[in-house]
Structure 1
Amino acid sequence: MTLVAVAVLVIVLSGEGRAPEDRAPERLVAALKLGGSPQDVAFSLDDKTLAVAVGETAELWDIGGRQRIEQPFTGHGGGTFGGRVDAVAFSPDGDTFATASQDGTVRLWSVRTNAQVGQPLVNRPDIHPNDDWRRSVEFDRGGTRLLSAGLRGTAVWDVASRARVTWVDGGPWDAGFNAAGDRIATGDTASLATMWQVPGGGQIGKAFAGHSKAPNFSDNVFAVAFNRDGTLLATAGGDGTVRLWDVASQTQSGEPIAVRGPEDVAFTADGRLLATAGDEGARLWRVSDHQPVLGPLDSSEHYGAEKLALSHDGRVLAVAQSGGFHVFLWDVSAV
């Protein structure tokens, strides 16, 4: 049965009027069994292929056929912190995808040839890459620039020339482009997120301060994401909250959303909903009033959710199982 057929079946059975948690189990479309624990996931622009970070490799999966495509992409490894691939991202044209690793490098790969393209990208020439764990990677919407946040700050490269165009001393955990690609947000320590100009790297306004460090909690902001038009920024903090911010005024929008152990956030393309990943699995929330509409989406093993990605057509949510060996695909089209 194809993905579309399964999705249609799920929609028919969804049943309006029930609580979010009651509707969750029947929305499971597929479970992709991996050879290791997934660290990140990303959809290609046509939503036919899923990239998955697994161990020191990255895998491409044909979503419709539930099959891995070719062999894993290998090359990372040997860093001070290891060589695990922590992040993957597709270029907008789908010809290239990027990987970011604990070995301190970001690498580009050809989807067509299954081979690495050029030399690895290194954040700072004055620091050995083995000491510069890379934790995130993202292309801007035009595909001309690539960013990666990590242990020694966040770098932005020009994809064609491979020249570093921006570096900021922020974002040890995550970073993301806004819609125009002329600014980035970073998830920092001290319960802060910061916005920066691209190119140039100048800080824009004050840091987004609202997360807190409570006893037995981290003071890190683990994930950041702009909505599609760049008017809102979502942040996931170690204080167990996800917060939305009005970008223009740099003030918090609405009350915090309580998420146990939040790891990742992503807006739907239309901006109506926000997906969160955490200890209880993935959930969907209405942006307008911060109320839950679906979830928790979790496996029977209850490992929780490490990372997530929404398909570009808004129909499928991919969730990387935290500490497990699966990526789960959930139908979210009728929410």
Structure 2
Amino acid sequence: MRRASATRRSPFKRSIPRTGCLRCTIRNGCRPCKFSASPVSASEVLREISENDPVLRGTLSCRGCPGPARPNQLAGDANASRRQGPTPAARLDGPDQHRLGWCAAREPPGPESAWNAGCAGGVVQDHDRPGQVDRFRIFISIACSGNLERVDVSRRPGMNRSSLCTKVAAVLWTILAASSVQADMVGHGGPIRSLAISPDGDSLLSGSFDTAVIRWSLRTDTAEQVLRYHADGVNAVVFLKDGRMITAGADARIAVWEAGRPEPDRVLEGHVAPIAALAVSPNGTLLASASWDRTVRLWSLSDGTSRVLEGHTQNVNGVAFLPDGRLVSVGYDLALRIWRLPDGQPDIVTLPAPLNAVTVAPDGEIVTGAVDGRLRMLTPDGKVSGEVEASPTPVVALAMSADGALIAAAGIGGSVAIIERKSRILLRSLVGPGLPVWAVAFLADRETLMTGGADGRIRRWNARTGNPIGSSLIGTPADPLAAYAGDHGADVFRACVACHTLSDKEVQRAGPTLAGLYGRKIASLPGYRFSDALKAMDIVWTPETVARLFEIGPNAYTPGTKMPEQRIGSAEDRRALTEFLGRATSR
């Protein structure tokens, strides 16, 4: 790539890309060299351009953005402009892999026809006369709820087109570099129960109550693969060093996957109750699984054989390997067991509260999360070395940064505690959308925390500052109940959104779609796995049977269901719900 001369000076005060490099980028679509930009707002950048650049004049308009900036969402139909005729001429890859579209149009397009290309923004040319380009309009998607900031940049008569292209690109690049926010990862139809980061740091694996696993690209925040095999919620996911993925869940089965393949390469069976956690040995040859059948199993990843480690007297909820190859397991029986391999003999440490999670630092220190909301640290030999109060409610998930400096502890009540491990100091608690959080994982940068919550979305947080990276989509058109705002029945139904859709055109979630509910026999929806117990029942869904379901609860009315136990005590609320379902699910 050709670089600009060292003597060329930018007309901007801020540090932005050199114009020669960007011109090369626009022409050839190649990756520009890296640069450092100050964290300034779009308005500030454009105001500075208007005040200091005699060639370029920028004006800014924003359609009432009510919240924080979030790129990677452009209003309108991304394909509309392609049908209307604009032709992509070049491509520019922006900071954090944002892609900026570049196209030409005969008529000045509005936001509804801006060419998006699935990216952060679009640049379109206005033609006042055929063959002459006098004005460029930039649509920059850095506003929430689909609002756009629009920049109109005029070219001075006689100004070289290439120079204008360079300046426009520099403006857009600077604005996007100044904004570090990214969109939420939305794809699951139920609460997210587990997260894992790939060894190369490029992919994220998420397992959900909706029975699906999604492999995400962390470069583009898009789903690369959806893995469907499990018959129940997926509680644990891990990556192997060779890129393979392992998933396990409430169906007591473990699946081993190759990237890109629709079916698992191998299924490991042996547990007889839900699997709660997985861990891979430091040398990558063994897989450990913790189960509610009160056992830990060690699986050979070469031939799939297993051995059973027995001794826990209650559910086993967590497993983790020490750097020296020993295995740690924790459970509801208050016991932390350190298993010596290969003889399988444990050293047992009894702690004050039932244990939900365990993780291990690079130096071998063991960290446990308990139902009393406290983290307890132990030496590799099992001696308690510290304690931190992380949450007023039970800790349900733990994660540790790659360098072992930070611990993230998710409490069932809703907050995520960030703890400095060495000092045992609670730095802050993360509170925001998508809580409670059931899964946490640190990225390789040691500061970015990924969380998976009850609303089925994956979010980024800056663990050092405590700030969310991105914004919630709740309340926007992405909310399936947005069209029913103010409807009391919809408010009652909101607790069911994580598991059920109202339309059969939506992506299937953990439970069957409710489209066409009334008049349908229980367990008769094609394509959904129902238990034999439900199939044997003689229930037809009507407003009366739905009301009865929530009056006495699913366990009493439909024994054998996977539906979480919940009741609606108010007859008025039950009536509002059944009336809403009649309106919202009719075909």
Task: Compute the TM-score of the two structures, normalised by the length of structure 1.
Answer: 0.67
**Would you say the 8 A contact 1:176–1:186 is kept in 2?**
yes
Tell me, in whole angstroms, the C-alpha distance in 2 between the residues paired with 1:160 and 1:183.
Answer: 23
Please show how residues 268-279 of structure 1 align to structure 2 within 5 Å: 268-271=361-364, 273-279=365-371
Partner of 1:40 in structure 2?
none
**3-state SS in 1 of match to 2:265:** strand
Aligned with residue 313 of structure 1, among 403, 421, 432:
403
Aligned with residue 88 of structure 1, among 195, 213, 232:
195
Please show how residues 116-127 of structure 1 align to structure 2 within 5 Å: 116-118=223-225, 120-123=226-229
Partner of 1:73 in structure 2?
185
Partner of 1:332 in structure 2?
421
**Would you say the 8 A contact 1:319–1:329 is kept in 2?**
yes
Tell me, in whole angstroms, the C-alpha distance in 1 between the residues paired with 2:318 and 2:361.
Answer: 16
Deviation at 1:331, TM superposition (A): 0.8
**Would you say the 8 A contact 2:212–2:228 is kept in 1?**
yes
Please show how residues 248-287 of structure 1 align to structure 2 within 5 Å: 248-253=342-347, 255-271=348-364, 273-280=365-372, 281-287=374-380
1:164-185: CA deviation from partner (whole Å, max 9, x where unpaired): 2332123621121112222211
**Would you say the 8 A contact 1:166–1:199 is kept in 2?**
no
**Would you say the 8 A contact 2:227–2:263 is kept in 1?**
no
Deviation at 1:109, TM superposition (A): 0.7
Q: Which one-letter code corresponds to 1:264 in the other structure?
A: A
Deviation at 1:69, TM superposition (A): 4.2
Partner of 2:316 in structure 1?
221
Tell me, in whole angstroms, the C-alpha distance in 1 between the residues paired with 2:397 and 2:388.
Answer: 14
Q: 1:225 to 1:166 in 2, by over 3 A?
A: farther
Q: Which one-letter code corresponds to 1:71 in the other structure?
A: A
Deviation at 1:296, TM superposition (A): 2.9
When you count helix as a share of all residues, which structure comes out higher?
A: 2
Partner of 1:211 in structure 2?
312
Aligned with residue 156 of structure 1, among 236, 256, 267:
256
Q: Which one-letter code corresponds to 1:220 in the other structure?
A: N
Matched, 1:243 2:332: no
Task: Compute the TM-score of the two structures, normalised by the length of structure 2.
Answer: 0.39
Tell me, in whole angstroms, the C-alpha distance in 1 between the residues paired with 2:401 and 2:227.
Answer: 27
Aligned with residue 113 of structure 1, among 220, 236, 239:
220
Matched, 1:174 2:269: no
Tell me, in whole angstroms, the C-alpha distance in 1 between the residues paired with 2:302 and 2:211.
Answer: 22
Q: Which one-letter code corresponds to 1:94 in the other structure?
A: G
Give identity over the alignment, percent.
25
Tell me, in whole angstroms, the C-alpha distance in 1 between the residues paired with 2:204 and 2:183.
Answer: 15
Deviation at 1:94, TM superposition (A): 1.2
**3-state SS in 2 of match to 1:71:** coil
Tell me, in whole angstroms, the C-alpha distance in 2 between the residues paired with 1:259 and 1:89.
Answer: 29
Tell me, in whole angstroms, the C-alpha distance in 1 between the residues paired with 2:298 and 2:260.
Answer: 25
**Would you say the 8 A contact 2:211–2:233 is kept in 1?**
yes
Q: 1:332 to 1:201 in 2, by over 3 A?
A: same
Tell me, in whole angstroms, the C-alpha distance in 2 between the residues paired with 1:285 and 1:200.
Answer: 34
Matched, 1:145 2:237: no
Q: Which one-letter code corresponds to 1:102 in the other structure?
A: F
Larger Rg: 2
Tell me, in whole angstroms, the C-alpha distance in 2 between the residues paired with 1:233 and 1:249.
Answer: 12
Tell me, in whole angstroms, the C-alpha distance in 2 between the residues paired with 1:259 and 1:84.
Answer: 30
Gaps of 5+ in 2: 1-178, 425-587
**Would you say the 8 A contact 1:89–1:139 is kept in 2?**
yes
Please show how residues 10-25 of structure 1 align to structure 2 within 5 Å: none
Partner of 2:413 in structure 1?
323
RMSD: 2.1
Aligned length: 241
**Would you say the 8 A contact 2:196–2:204 is kept in 1?**
yes
Partner of 2:211 in structure 1?
104
Tell me, in whole angstroms, the C-alpha distance in 2 between the residues paired with 1:162 and 1:316.
Answer: 36
**Would you say the 8 A contact 1:320–1:327 is kept in 2?**
yes
Partner of 1:297 in structure 2?
389
Q: 1:276 to 1:69 in 2, by over 3 A?
A: farther
1:49-80: CA deviation from partner (whole Å, max 9, x where unpaired): xxxxxxxxxxxxxxxxxx99422211111xxx
**Would you say the 8 A contact 1:240–1:261 is kept in 2?**
yes
Tell me, in whole angstroms, the C-alpha distance in 1 between the residues paired with 2:181 and 2:268.
Answer: 36
The one of the two structures with greater contact order (alpha-carbon pairs below 8 A, sep at least 6) is 1
1:31-61: CA deviation from partner (whole Å, max 9, x where unpaired): xxxxxxxxxxxxxxxxxxxxxxxxxxxxxxx
**Would you say the 8 A contact 1:143–1:159 is kept in 2?**
no
Q: Which one-letter code corresponds to 1:319 in the other structure?
A: A
Q: 1:155 to 1:278 in 2, by over 3 A?
A: same
Tell me, in whole angstroms, the C-alpha distance in 1 between the residues paired with 2:366 and 2:394.
Answer: 17
1:189-240: CA deviation from partner (whole Å, max 9, x where unpaired): 3321111111432113xx111111xxxxxx31111111234x2111112212
Tell me, in whole angstroms, the C-alpha distance in 2 between the residues paired with 1:102 and 1:203.
Answer: 26
**Runs of 4+ with deviation above 3 angstroms:** 160-163
1:251-295: CA deviation from partner (whole Å, max 9, x where unpaired): 102x32315121111111121x1000112221211122x222221
**Would you say the 8 A contact 2:199–2:243 is kept in 1?**
no
Tell me, in whole angstroms, the C-alpha distance in 1 between the residues paired with 2:184 and 2:376.
Answer: 30
Q: 1:144 to 1:222 in 2, by over 3 A?
A: same
Tell me, in whole angstroms, the C-alpha distance in 2 between the residues paired with 1:68 and 1:269.
Answer: 29
Q: 1:96 to 1:308 in 2, by over 3 A?
A: same
